[in-house]
Chains A and B, each alone.
Chain A
Amino acid sequence: MAVMPIERGKIREYATSTGAIQPEYLEDPRAPIPPTFLSTVIFWDQPGMALRDPAAVEALASLDIKADMTQVLSAEQEYIFHGPLPRAGDVLVTSHRFDRVEIKDGRRGGTMVFLKFAIEFRSEEGKLRAECLYTSAYTTRAAVTQS
């Protein structure tokens, strides 16, 4: 859990890095966030904390997969917004949620382990404003080198 201030300068920086140049992002002191902006939560919190859940740890260990950065691939990210879009000046409070583990055969061989987890973003009053749903794939080496 962390407190994440939505900052105007960060919105401007993030928007520009994704080719978004609308004045609403660049000039408005109360700029709305771009659709994927909440990925910047990693400056404030660690989404991967959800993976300390015993079910995630057990699944990786049982397949002898080392959860280091050279073997993790981001498979999917999804943002869901509730109520008004967060904007510069808002303060959001985060919390973690571990959803489930899925084990599948990779398209190019090997075994892939999909870990589904989420960060919830709430107002300081506790109202749910947004969710980021992550699917991370840990893969055995065979699955990535046969491409």
Chain B
Amino acid sequence: MTATRFDWTVGEQLPPRDFGPVTTTDIVRYQGASGDMNPMHHDDVLARSAGYPEAFSVGMLSAGYLATYCTDFFGTESVRRFRTRFREIVWRGDVLTMTGTISEVRPVVGGVRITVDLQVTTQTGKCAVQGLGEFELAGRLGAGPSS
């Protein structure tokens, strides 16, 4: 895994990272893994009958990519809170760009708790998911930065 940093500062931006383009396989694999088999995400005929041009991606797949973006920076054990708001539908073929900005850093016993404003943007510039994460980089890291 990536080295877990400890010395984040407010206003610092995480390096952006792209996921996708989203494929039918990505969608059905996520659906199988998550258990959300809502056919609107893989059945074009049904989606059209409901007024959509075609089936569309799962919000929680974008949220899962955003979570992976975070755990790659902050480690797999640090999450305390993770919120995602689904703003725009993601379609097959969309490339999803993850971005994050540290909005709060506060000391806790043995470490820091950071808040990160997160966003998933499609190649059209639209915000697909607005997120907020809180991560505790704590005790196990000791008293100073870890690299």
Contact = CB atoms under 8 A, between A and B. Distances in A.
Asked whether A and B interact, the reply is yes
Interface of A: 10, 13-20, 22-25, 32, 34-36, 39-40, 42-43, 69-71, 73-81, 85, 133, 141, 144-145, 147
A24 to B, nearest CB: 4
A77 B64 contact: no
A34 B65 CA distance: 11
11 contacts: A14-B33, A17-B34, A20-B67, A24-B77, A25-B76, A70-B46, A75-B86, A76-B85, A78-B83, A81-B79, A85-B79
B7 interface: no
B77 A78 contact: no
A75 B129 CA distance: 10
Given A80-B80, A145-B51, A35 B19 contact: no
Contacts, number: 116
A77 B60 contact: yes
A78 B133 CA distance: 9
A17 B29 contact: yes
Nearest to B81: A80
A25 B29 CA distance: 17
Given A18-B64, A35-B71, A36-B67, A77 B36 contact: no
Interface string B76-101: 11011111111001000000000000
A32 B88 CA distance: 30
Contacts of B83: 76-79, 133
A35 B63 CA distance: 9
A34 B86 contact: no
A43 B70 CA distance: 25
